[in-house]
Amino acid sequence: MEQKKILLVEDDFLNRRLSKKVLLENGFAVLEAKNAKEALEILKREAITIAILDIHLGENEQDGISLGQQIKDKYAVPFIYLTAYANVETIGKAIATSPFSYLTKPFKSSDLIASVEITIRQAASMANYQPKLVVKDGEYSVELAIDEINYIESDGNYLVIHTDGKKYKVRSTIKKMIEELSASIFVQTHRAYIVNKNKIRSFNSKKVMIGDTAIPVSDNYADGLS
């Protein structure tokens, strides 16, 4: 069985060493980072199972909550927060980023491992779930699997959803749809277009190719393709 990789982001050396020791003793591989910059570099090159994020990562450093949001949006890696801060404001900001668990220091080793194991199981269950959109197919409403979508095009008060075999309509707006779709899969390229990043064959600063179809890219949205 492939060893599961844990990204441990903790600025305090002693806390990082203790958490790493507990994780190693329970059969996990551990990659360490002292700050958000190091963590993001690791995420670019490694397939991480889950991330464990200290909320406070030192003075003048990006905090763990904003790092958690980045990980959620760009890498879709589940994460756990560790913190010595248990005030209502911090907890509220943390929960808004949808962590899988939240541990307050000092914590028991058994609590850390339990949180890690639960997170891994929950993430696996979610990975097997196939999200769907309810769309119109003639006079009927049907469920369309998200991964079947190639791109979405605005058409007045409706959106036209393009798949390999058919087109579907749904009454919505580009703004509302991009808020509902996963940022790890879909990106807006133009005020009237959303594309499935997994279906992009090639792209440049002016257009993306989905099969033989050219989708425009406007300057306001070009950064989302990088």
Among 105-109, 137-141, 148-152, 201-205, the range scoring the smallest mean pLDDT is 137-141
Which has the closest alpha carbon to 225: 213, 211, 202, 173?
202
CATH number for the 132-225 domain, one of 2.60.40.1930, 2.40.50.1020, 3.40.50.300, 3.40.190.10? 2.40.50.1020
Q: What is the pTM of this model?
A: 0.59
What is the predicted pLDDT for the residue at 6? 96
- Domain spans of the chain, in order of start: 5-127, 132-225
Check pLDDT > 70 for residue 128: no
What is the predicted pLDDT for the residue at 75? 83
- Which pLDDT band, with edges at 50, 70 and 90, does 1 fall under? low
Report the share of the chain in percent with pLDDT over 90. 53
CATH dotted code for 5-127: 3.40.50.2300
C-alpha pair distances (Å), 173 with each of 22, 79, 164, 180: 48, 31, 22, 11
- Which pLDDT band, with edges at 50, 70 and 90, does 162 fall under? very high
Check pLDDT > 60 for residue 95: yes
CA atoms within 13 A on the CB side of 121: 7
Check pLDDT > 60 for residue 205: yes
Ramachandran angles phi, psi of 219, nearest 5°: -60, -35
Which has the closest alpha carbon to 178: 204, 162, 200, 159?
159
